[in-house]
């Protein structure tokens, strides 16, 4: 059984840890409020713009576009893995990595080669751990999501795809539901593939000015920018929500540990006092 000094030292240590986790919870709560507002505000525009572009693609018909054409048999694909830069956010990253690993393994069994782009320090660490072919790595892309950053990232993605090296581009990220629920998702961003059922409705009523041949390519590139920006917002909100929840749980666990250690300390102290009283009483009786 540890002595009273060791127990007292552990209580002080856990209290200091509790202060840190509580402070991190408050910081994450403030960041989460901003990220939550940003992602909720961006969703209507993102959904509406994506639906509009899909209808434009259907209305354009046989107008050729390098961003919509399917390249026959898939031989090499690009996976963009979007994770956090820091830890202490529960199982957010590990759940995403499991889904991404399963996806890559399944596609590899079909004879498809994969290259990976890592957005976020944790994703780069994971890729090196499992020895995936990492062709590019960027950090702090979800720290403060900005449209200008998303535009630059999307430009790199589009240019990489247009080079002809990859047949498809997928993005693995965590979609935000609420502070307690974040769902890992793998989404295909290139080539642009309309959802036929929703896209065909009303497509015949669309009038394009200028002609579709000039309009289609810039609109599709803007769609990729919108999707990348949405992904960054979703990832940021998921990270702050998960960290806030994890730090809240850690603070409560620290409180429970302090209670148990305090109880153990009081029992040990009471036992020591009782032992001293018995020794004093025994000595007095001996005299």
All domains of the chain in start order, with CATH: 26-245 (3.40.1380.10)
What is the pLDDT at residue 74?
Answer: 67
What is the pLDDT at residue 141?
Answer: 92
142 preceded by a cis bond (ω within 30 of 0): no
In contact, 241 and 39? CB cutoff 8 Å: no
Q: What is the DSSP letter of 141?
A: S
* The pair of three-digit structure tokens given for residue 42, joined into one six-digit string: 């961006």
In contact, 79 and 231? CB cutoff 8 Å: no
Cite the beta strand spans of the chain per DSSP E: 76-82, 113-119, 134-138, 168-178, 181-190
What is the pLDDT at residue 105?
Answer: 92
What is the pLDDT at residue 68?
Answer: 81
* The pair of three-digit structure tokens given for residue 176, joined into one six-digit string: 């935000």
Q: Which residues of 36-60 are buried (b: 16+ CB within 10 A; e: fewer)?
A: bebbeebeeebeebbbebbbbbbbb
Q: Chunk the chain into consecutive blocks of 10 residues (it has 287) and report each block's average pLDDT, rounded to whole numbers.
A: 83 95 95 94 90 80 75 82 93 95 91 92 94 92 91 92 88 92 93 65 64 79 93 95 95 95 90 79 70
What is the pLDDT at residue 202?
Answer: 54
Which is it for strands 168-178 and 181-190: parallel, antiparallel or unpaired? Answer: antiparallel
For CA atoms 191, 192, 197, 200, the dihedral sign is negative
Q: What is the DSSP letter of 143?
A: S
What is the pLDDT at residue 67?
Answer: 84
pTM, 2 dp: 0.87
Report the alpha-carbon distance of residue 136 to residue 131 in Å, rounded.
14
């Amino acid at each position: 059984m540890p002595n009273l000094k060791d127990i007292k030292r552990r209580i002080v240590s856990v209290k200091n840890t509790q202060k840190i986790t509580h402070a991190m919870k408050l910081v994450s709560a403030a960041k989460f409020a901003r990220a939550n507002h940003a992602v909720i505000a961006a969703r209507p525009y993102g959904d509406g713009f994506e639906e509009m572009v899909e209808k434009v693609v259907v209305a354009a018909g046989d107008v050729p576009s390098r961003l919509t054409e399917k390249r026959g048999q898939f031989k090499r694909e690009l996976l963009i893995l979007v994770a956090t830069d820091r830890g202490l956010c529960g199982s957010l990253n590990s759940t995403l990595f499991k889904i991404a690993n399963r996806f890559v393994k399944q596609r590899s069994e079909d004879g498809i080669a994969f290259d990976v782009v890592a957005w976020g320090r944790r994703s780069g660490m994971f890729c090196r751990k499992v020895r995936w072919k990492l062709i590019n790595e960027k950090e702090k892309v979800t720290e403060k999501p900005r449209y200008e950053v998303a535009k630059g990232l999307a430009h790199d993605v589009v240019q990489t795809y247009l080079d002809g090296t990859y047949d498809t581009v997928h993005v693995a990220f965590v979609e935000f539901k609420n502070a307690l629920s974040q769902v890992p998702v793998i989404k295909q961003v290139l080539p642009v593939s309309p959802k036929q059922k929703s896209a065909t409705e009303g497509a015949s009523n669309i009038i394009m000015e200028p002609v579709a041949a000039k309009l289609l390519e810039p609109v599709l590139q803007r769609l990729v920018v919108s999707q990348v920006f949405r992904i960054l917002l979703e990832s940021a909100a998921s990270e702050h929500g998960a960290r806030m929840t994890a730090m809240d749980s850690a603070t409560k666990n620290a409180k429970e540990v302090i209670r148990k250690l305090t109880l153990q300390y009081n029992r040990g102290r009471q036992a020591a006092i009782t032992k001293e009283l018995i020794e004093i009483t025994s000595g007095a009786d001996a005299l």
